[in-house]
Structure 1
Amino acid sequence: MIQTIILKQRPVGKPTLSDFEFIKEDTDLNIEKGEILLEATYISVDPYLRGRMSDAKSYVAPFELGKPITSGVIAKVIASKNDKFTEGDFVSGMMDWKTQQISKGEGLLKVDKDRAPLSAYLGILGMTGLTAYCGLTQIGKPKAGETLVVSGAAGAVGSVVGQIGKILGLYVVGIAGTDEKVEMLTSKFGFDHAINYNTTDDMKAALRTACPDGVDVYFDNVGGTISDAVLYNINKFARMVICGAISVYNNTEAPKSVSVQPFLVKNSALMQGFIVSNYMDKFPEAMKHLSGWLAEGKLTYSETVVEGFANTTQAFLDLFDGKNKGKMIVKA
């Protein structure tokens, strides 16, 4: 039995389960020369997938209606007629949300389950870690002694950004949505200070207290009013790294935010958005540092692992309610 999750209709506002459809096929997949048969092991669910569900211009084409959702997947090779892959290999790459599928192996990378847990290749040793490292180092250009603020800090990317900031000698402040996550940021990930935005009435004042020397680097995963508050606390020559804006992804109207231009002009500040593929030439450097820091115990990570392929769409929806700690992954 092969199960597939397709996009049934384009979401309006926050996605719901009815926007997706499960298809079950009682069939066997037969491979030909040069092909491999893959069985999903772990599936990555990420906020950016919401953008691909809308029929709007973006940095990547939208998902097609009636076609499978795709994301990062770790899969096991269960049959091979491709000389580059052997039965039993585990591979990582962009794949359909299917329990089984056929591939020619293009764009797939072998991963070593003995070097790190397989799920880590979707997180700290995958797109998550690469996004954190490249965004912070290439745009944030941090210098020891500076102050780094991270929004969405208990999420997959944010928690890694903060840790890298500490390794590089920064004072790090994280923003998250529960007391439990705030405690985790300081106790597990080594942030110097953390703020619960849900129990804070005045974010501008809270940031002013948490960052007595102002904000030099802001790694933005959420957008919205939290990021507005950071603008009031930036220093001259501050760098703002725009990685995501989960707080506004489901808006049906244009958000009302403060005008950023006066803050940028007054502080000679930089605000730059990015996607991780902009920095593919930096991936070897990033992987060298990330794997080294992980082996040395300087980096750690959290995962929220949801059991069962059938729960993939619910796991995706739970991202928008902040139910994940670190990387959200489905164990198929």
Structure 2
Amino acid sequence: MVSTQIVLANRPKGMPVLTDFRFEDIELPVLSDGEVLVEGVYYSVDPYMRGRMNAAKSYAPPFEVDKPIIGGVVAKVLESKSLDFVAGDLVTGRLNWRKKDVVQEKLLKKIDASIAPPSYYLGILGMPGMTAYVGFIHIGKPKAGETVVVSGAAGAVGVIVGQLAKIKGCRVIGIAGSEEKIRLLKEEFGFDEAINYKTCPDLKKAIADLCPNGVDIYFDNVGGEISDAVINNINFHARIPLCGQIALYNSSVPPMGPRLQPMLLSRSVLMQGFIIFNYESLFPEAIKEMSQWIKAGKLKFTETVIQGFEHLPIALLGLFSGENTGKMLVKA
């Protein structure tokens, strides 16, 4: 059986371009015991994937040149030689970017579409949801009445963090990059205030005006000048869950910013970077609580869905220009 895959053609320098990806047709092997044939339904694109295009050592091994990109996928089982799966099952796993693939059973997890739409298992009930929950609840340690600022607030993680803050009784301010995103954060997701960083003439002052009592928790998805502005308004004993640095991912030479360590030291601030795969023991707790909040209508989610497997590279590049609201997905 022939399938189509997307491989890393070159290691990008700075912002990736479409020629850094290549489409190939391959012949799939015959199924062996313990394997299943799957067809992709939804494919996830995530900012961390940019880091894996580099050869640098990190928490996850780099993608190999001339080998398939790997990411979160929801797939349908077409044929099975596994005792755990049957044809028709919906599954999720970290799989190759292929239209169809032969996969070992240990790489797959069955999903229940009666709890939530299948795509949610790549979003609010997948890695972004786990990231938001662990980072905010276990590292942010929110207390009712505190002020929370979220950068990248209209992204897959940010929209969840803001709602978790409201559930925990906090005041929450989001930072995003368009007036439509600002509207959605306030009207759809319950943020108290939101700032369009692209049109704001003085972000540091705008944060100070909206946070007269300072910032107790800063959930950092972005880094760069936005984080500089927020941290200048940080409170004593504040917490900073360090989730992402998308403003810097495509910099061949990271820009020099303010030296923030003296401020963190003098105000006794905790800044903690975290990689969600190190917290898998907390996933059952997160899924249980968030499923209850979803059913109760306290937790909403939004997706940007692009149609067509062939548009996966375009969707990934779109993350870095802010073309998504919520989770960016490709539907095959």
TM category (shorter chain) comes to over 0.9
Q: CA deviation at 1:115?
A: 1.9
2-structure distance, mates of 1:71, 1:314:
15
- Per-residue Cα deviation, 1:229-252 (whole angstroms, up to 9, x for no partner): 011101100101110000110001
Tell me what 2:205 maps to: 205
Identical residues among aligned pairs (%): 53
Letter of the 1:124 partner, please give it: I
Contact 2:28 2:102 in 1 (8 A): no
TM-score normalised over the length of structure 2: 0.98
Tell me what 1:254 maps to: 254
Tell me what 2:138 maps to: 138
Alignment of 1:65-214 (within 5 A): 65-214=65-214
Tell me what 1:302 maps to: 302
1-structure distance, mates of 2:57, 2:283:
26
Q: CA deviation at 1:29?
A: 4.7
Q: CA deviation at 1:14?
A: 0.2
Q: Does 1:44 align with 2:44?
A: yes
1-structure distance, mates of 2:304, 2:326:
7
Q: Does 1:215 align with 2:215?
A: yes
Tell me what 2:19 maps to: 18
Structure 2 runs not aligned, ≥5 long: none
Aligned length, in residue pairs: 331
Tell me what 2:287 maps to: 287
Structure 1 runs not aligned, ≥5 long: none
Question: Secondary structure of the equivalent of 1:106?
Answer: helix
Question: Secondary structure of the equivalent of 1:312?
Answer: helix
Tell me what 2:330 maps to: 330
Question: Secondary structure of the equivalent of 1:156?
Answer: coil
1-structure distance, mates of 2:89, 2:30:
18
1-structure distance, mates of 2:298, 2:292:
9
Letter of the 1:270 partner, please give it: L
Letter of the 1:8 partner, please give it: A
Question: Secondary structure of the equivalent of 1:325?
Answer: coil
Letter of the 2:22 partner, please give it: E
2-structure distance, mates of 1:30, 1:309:
23
Q: CA deviation at 1:278?
A: 2.0
Q: CA deviation at 1:28?
A: 5.8
Question: Secondary structure of the equivalent of 1:257?
Answer: coil
- Per-residue Cα deviation, 1:288-328 (whole angstroms, up to 9, x for no partner): 11111111111101100000000000000000110000000
Letter of the 1:158 partner, please give it: G
Tell me what 1:233 maps to: 233
1-structure distance, mates of 2:261, 2:248:
20
- Per-residue Cα deviation, 1:199-256 (whole angstroms, up to 9, x for no partner): 1010110000111110000000000000000111011001011100001100011221
2-structure distance, mates of 1:301, 1:82:
33
Tell me what 1:2 maps to: 3
Q: Does 1:275 align with 2:291?
A: no
Contact 2:203 2:229 in 1 (8 A): yes
2-structure distance, mates of 1:293, 1:199:
34
2-structure distance, mates of 1:89, 1:29:
21
Question: Secondary structure of the equivalent of 2:42?
Answer: strand
2-structure distance, mates of 1:318, 1:12:
17
2-structure distance, mates of 1:259, 1:175:
22
Letter of the 1:173 partner, please give it: I
- Per-residue Cα deviation, 1:25-78 (whole angstroms, up to 9, x for no partner): 4x4652122211010000000000000000001111101111000000001000
2-structure distance, mates of 1:295, 1:103:
33
Q: CA deviation at 1:114?
A: 2.1
2-structure distance, mates of 1:188, 1:76:
32
Letter of the 2:64 partner, please give it: E
Letter of the 2:127 partner, please give it: M
Moved more, 159-168 or 31-40: 31-40
Contact 2:28 2:101 in 1 (8 A): no
Letter of the 1:308 partner, please give it: G
Question: Secondary structure of the equivalent of 1:91?
Answer: strand
Q: Which runs of 4+ in 1 moved over 6 A?
A: none
1-structure distance, mates of 2:103, 2:216:
45
